């Protein structure tokens, strides 16, 4: 199907010194089918509709992220002309090849650098030059939202923050696209989220099944990851994490030992004392006295 294609030029959109533009747009039927001189990351934040790219048409919904290289023609369309009732809202992050040079000190991994250079090369268009990923955990959406806020209301250090966020976006999308080719990288990233969850919920009961449900891994696979990344079983890691946190509280707070035990997930003070002495070699009271001595 032949259609008129308008060229969106750098100087119209990338007028700041970073040559970067981020917006949150409600799509309509007025924006023309277009190509552009810059790279574009498009995140579908709300609603449903269609994305016309070259000679293909894709149904879109929340969580889809498209990467449009230099020279590729596309346009979004809502599923209905009534944008008030069913808006199709898309975050757009635009930057040109000058941004690639600025990101070089951040993007230290050569495969990621080569990936970004390919997007800006403006070589002959083929079916693999653009692609989409699905943001299953909301990480890409979070970066887009932060980019939009930082661009809309700049403050001290905004240039540095924006560069950092663009780098994070590129890496996050690269991982979403090529993660299956390097499962170890994905496991390491997601396992970090598991560890962060444990650290933030030490006062609550935490079971391996809870973590499996949260991470969508099996209990068995999680046990393997704990052994690989920490050298401990899940139970041993959790126990040590609780005692480590209790040591911090004994040093830096005036809470009673019984209160600290509760704050790190022990409901029985005798059990806490026994585990603490086994790991630290002293009772909690002895440890506090020695640290403050």
Sheet holding 74-78, edge to edge: 6-8, 34-36, 74-78, 49-53, 56-60
Share of the chain above pLDDT 70, in %: 92
Q: Look at residue 126 in the predicted model and tell me its pLDDT.
A: 44
Together in a domain, 149 and 219: no
Together in a domain, 166 and 215: no
Q: What angle do CA 66, 180, 43 make, to 5 degrees?
A: 15
149 domain-assigned: yes
190 domain-assigned: no
* Whether the predicted model's global pTM rises above the 0.75 cut: no
Banded pLDDT at 127 (limits 50, 70, 90): very low
Residue with tokens 């079971």: 207
194 domain-assigned: no
187 domain-assigned: no
Question: β-pairing, 64-68 with 20-26?
Answer: unpaired
Banded pLDDT at 184 (limits 50, 70, 90): low
Together in a domain, 31 and 130: yes
Q: What is the CATH number of the domain that holds 289?
A: 1.10.10.60
Together in a domain, 149 and 238: no
Q: What is the average pLDDT value for the chain, to the nearest integer?
A: 88
Domain residues for the domain of 112 are: 6-181
Of 181, 211, 231, which closes a domain? Answer: 181
192 domain-assigned: no
**Distance between terminal CA atoms of the chain?**
81
Mean pLDDT of 217-235: 89
175 domain-assigned: yes
Of 181, 216, 236, which closes a domain? Answer: 181
Mean pLDDT of 181-204: 75
What is the Cα–Cα distance from 178 to 126, expressed in whole angstroms?
A: 19
Residue with tokens 């790279």: 39
Which of 40-49, 50-59, 121-130, 149-158 shows the lowest mean pLDDT across its residues?
Answer: 121-130
Together in a domain, 133 and 261: no
196 domain-assigned: no
Q: Look at residue 181 in the predicted model and tell me its pLDDT.
A: 47
- Distances from the Cα of 201 to the Cα of 195, 211, 247, 262, 265, angstroms: 10, 11, 16, 12, 9
Q: In angstroms, how far is CA 36 from the centroid of its own chain? A: 26
Res. 124: pLDDT tops 50: no
Of the candidates 2, 69, 76, 4, the one whose C-alpha atom is nearest the C-alpha of residue 36 is 69
125 domain-assigned: yes
Q: How many domains does the chain have?
A: 2
Together in a domain, 156 and 232: no
Of the candidates 92, 87, 99, 97, the one whose C-alpha atom is nearest the C-alpha of residue 74 is 92
DSSP single-letter state for residue 137: T
Together in a domain, 23 and 107: yes
Q: Look at residue 105 in the predicted model and tell me its pLDDT.
A: 87
pLDDT, tens only, 231-261: 899 999 999 999 999 999 999 999 999 999 9
Together in a domain, 220 and 89: no
Of the candidates 89, 115, 88, the one whose C-alpha atom is nearest the C-alpha of residue 169 is 115
Q: What is the CATH number of the domain that holds 71?
A: 2.60.120.280
């Amino acid at each position: 199907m032949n259609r008129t294609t308008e060229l969106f030029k750098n100087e119209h959109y990338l007028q700041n010194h970073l040559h970067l533009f981020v917006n949150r747009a409600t799509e309509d039927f007025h924006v023309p089918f277009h190509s552009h001189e810059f790279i574009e990351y498009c995140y579908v934040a709300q609603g449903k509709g269609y994305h016309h790219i070259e000679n293909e048409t894709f149904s879109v919904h929340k969580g889809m992220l498209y990467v449009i290289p230099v020279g590729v023609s596309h346009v979004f369309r809502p599923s209905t002309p009534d944008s008030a009732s069913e808006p199709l809202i898309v975050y757009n992050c635009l930057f040109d090849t000058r941004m690639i040079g600025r990101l070089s000190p951040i993007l230290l991994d050569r495969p990621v650098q080569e990936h970004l250079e390919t997007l800006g090369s403006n070589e002959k268009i083929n079916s693999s030059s653009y692609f989409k990923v699905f943001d299953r955990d909301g990480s890409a959406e979070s970066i887009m939202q932060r980019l939009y806020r930082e661009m809309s209301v700049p403050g001290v250090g905004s240039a540095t923050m924006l560069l950092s966020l663009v780098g994070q976006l590129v890496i996050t999308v690269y991982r979403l696209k090529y993660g299956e080719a390097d499962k170890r990288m994905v496991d390491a990233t997601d396992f970090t989220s598991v560890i962060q969850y444990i650290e933030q919920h030490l006062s609550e009961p935490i079971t391996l099944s809870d973590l499996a449900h949260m991470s969508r891994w099996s209990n068995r696979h999680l046990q393997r990851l704990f052994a690989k990344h920490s050298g401990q079983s899940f139970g041993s890691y959790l126990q040590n994490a609780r005692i480590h946190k209790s040591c911090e509280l004994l040093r830096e707070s005036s809470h009673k030992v019984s209160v600290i035990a509760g704050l790190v997930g022990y409901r029985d003070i005798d059990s806490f004392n026994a585990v603490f002495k086994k790991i630290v070699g002293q009772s909690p009271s002895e440890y506090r006295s020695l640290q403050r001595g």
